[in-house]
Amino acid sequence: MARALPPTCALITGAASGIGFEMAQCCASRGLRLVLVDINEEGVKRAAEEIRAAHGVTVDTFQVDLSQREAPEACLAFCDARGIEVDFLINNAGIFLFDPLVEADARRVALMSDLHVYCVTRMCMLFGARMKTARHGYILNLSSLSAWMPMPGISTYNASKSYIRSLSLALGFELRPFGVSVTAVCPGGIDTALLPIPDSIRKLGRKLHCIMPPEVLAEKAIRATLRRKKQVIPGAMNHVFKFFMAIVPDFVIAWAMRVVPIYKRFLP
C-alpha cells in the first residue's frame, strides 16, 4: 500500500450550510483547496466568501441539484474543466423526513433515495476511480447512528443511512490496497435545522451531550477520516446509545409510539 499522504483538495456536497459548511471550515483550516457543491447557489457563494476571508484558501463553487442522475458526472466534469484533482471526497448532502412511509410525500421519499443512495454511490464510483489510479485519497460518507435501529417515522432515512454505512465499509476494503481510505461517520442528533425537535429539548440535549453542535461533529469527522478510520461514532454517549439501540426489544418501540407525543398522528 502506498504511504498515506495528506489531502490537498476537498470536494464537499451540501456545503452551503450546516454540517457541510463546518466540514469545509475544518478542511480550509488545514490549508486544503475546496470545491463546494450545493443546490443553493447564493448560499454556497456566501459560504465560499466567508471561508476565503477566514482562511485564505482557494474555493470553487458549483451549483447543482445532486438528486438528478447526471449530477455526479457534472461534478467531475466541473473539476476536470478547471484542472482540479480531488483527493478528499465528502458526501454530506442529504435531507430528513419524519412521516409514516405510506403517508409520506412520494417526491420527498424519491429525493432522499436519490441523494442518499444513488448520488453517494455514483460519487464514490467516479472520484474513487480517480483516487484508485492515483493510489491516494480519502472518502468521507455521512451515515447516522440510526443505521443500527429501524425507527418508525424515519424508515427511509434509516434504510438509506444503513446503506451508506454498509457501502462505506465494503468500499473501504476494496480501495485500501490502493492507498484510498473510506470512512463512515455515524453521528447521533446534530443541532442543525434538519433536527425536528422543540428548542427546549434541543437545549437540554446539548447540555446532556446527546445533541452535538455541527462544528464539533465536523472536526471529529475530518480528524477521523484523515486518520483513515473505517468508521467513527462521534461522542461517548452515542456509543452507549448504539449498544442499547441494537438490543431494544420490539415492545419498547411499540410503547414509545403510544406515549411519545410526536407519534400520536401515527396511530388510529
pLDDT digit string, tens, across residues 209-231: 567 788 999 999 999 999 999 99
| DSSP per-residue letters across the chain | -PPP---SEEEEES-SSHHHHHHHHHHHHTT-EEEEEES-HHHHHHHHHHHHHHH---EEEEE--TTSTTHHHHHHHHHHHTT----EEEE-------S-GGGS-HHHHHHHHIIIIIIHHHHHHHHHHHHHHHT-EEEEEE--GGGGS--TT-HHHHHHHHHHHHHHHHHHHHHGGGTEEEEEE---EESSTT--S-HHHHHHHHHTTSEE-HHHHHHHHHHHHHTT-SEE--SHHHHHHHHHHHH--HHHHHHHHHHSGGGGGG--
| Backbone torsions φ then ψ of 90, nearest 5 degrees | -120, 105
Residue-wise pLDDT tens digits, 104-125: 999 999 999 999 999 999 999 9
Of the two residues 157 and 200, the one the predictor is more confident about is: 157
For 23, the grid coordinates are: 466540514
Longest distance between any two alpha carbons in the chain, whole Å: 59
CB 230 within 8 A of CB 140: no
Domain ranges of the chain: 9-266
User: Position 130: which residue type?
Assistant: R
The whole-angstrom separation of Cα 35 and Cα 7 is: 13
pLDDT category at 1 given cuts 50, 70, 90 is very low
Residue 205 pLDDT? 53
- How far apart CA 11 and CA 139 sit, in angstroms, is 10
> What's the pLDDT band for 186 if we cut at 50, 70, 90?
very high
Higher pLDDT, 254 or 80: 80
- Binning pLDDT at 50, 70 and 90, where does residue 254 land? confident
Residue with cell string 417515522? 153
What nine digits make up the cell of 105?
Answer: 410525500
**How does residue 44 score in pLDDT terms, banded at 50, 70 and 90?**
very high
Sequence-distant (6+) residues with CB within 8 A of 213 are: 190, 191, 206
| Distance set, CA 118 to CA 32, 77, 125 (Å) | 27, 18, 10
User: Is 3.40.50.720 the CATH number for 9-266?
Assistant: yes
Contacts of 228 (CB under 8 A, 6+ apart): 4, 138, 181, 183
